[in-house]
Amino acid sequence: MTNRTAAARYARALLDVSVKEQAELSQIEAQLTEFAGLFAQHESLAKIIVNPAVPALRKRALVAELVTRAELQPVVGRMLVLLAERDRWAILPDMIAAFRERLLELQHVVRADVTTAVPLPAERAKQIEQSIAHATGRSVTLSTRVDPSIIGGVVARVGSTVYDGSVTNHLQRMKQRLEESV
């Protein structure tokens, strides 16, 4: 089983248990992120927790102590201790990402990434967000970025679907049609 697959399973289990226990889901996501950040800030902790020479019981004890001091929600604490106990700490970043995706899905929110050649005015970004919300039937979290290489138009990525309305794409299609007709 790949790390991503395992991370998705742990994330699904965490979300299912959290919903069952009626825990605050956004707080769980924030606590997971903060705890992972703690290990990113302190290299010595990160080296200990991923070192295969350190016994899993010591890793578990370390994480359990940190969880107690951090006063995390019980479901978060149990998940972090479980990851340390099973020596699966390396999947934590992927698990957090998978948890976020599942949380958005549960809340009927879709993430849309919009790329334009020039900065998008706030009013136009709002119109695009409303169009995507209407098309998907979900709330939209919109993020924008600028990429001058698309020349003009808009490229929108909604989930795994890409809507490419860029000038660059139109030019490439015209070129292909001209080459085929010759």
Q: What is the pLDDT of residue 182?
A: 76
pLDDT tens track for 21-69: 999 999 999 999 999 998 889 888 888 888 889 998 999 999 999 999 9
Query: What is the pLDDT, as a whole number, of residue 40?
Result: 85
pTM listed for this prediction:
0.74
> How big is the chain by its Cα radius of gyration, in Å?
22
pLDDT-above-70 percentage for the chain: 99
pLDDT at 1 over 70: no
- Cβ(144)–Cβ(120) below 8 Å: yes
CA-CA-CA-CA torsion for 146, 162, 138, 109, nearest 10 degrees? Answer: -60
Strand partners, 157: 113, 162
Q: DSSP for 52-74?
A: TTS-HHHHHHHHHHHHHHHT--H
Q: What is the pLDDT of residues 131-155, one digit of tens each?
A: 999 988 999 999 999 999 999 989 9
Ordered by where they begin, the domains of the chain are 3-105 (1.10.520.20), 109-181 (no CATH)
DSSP for residue 23: -
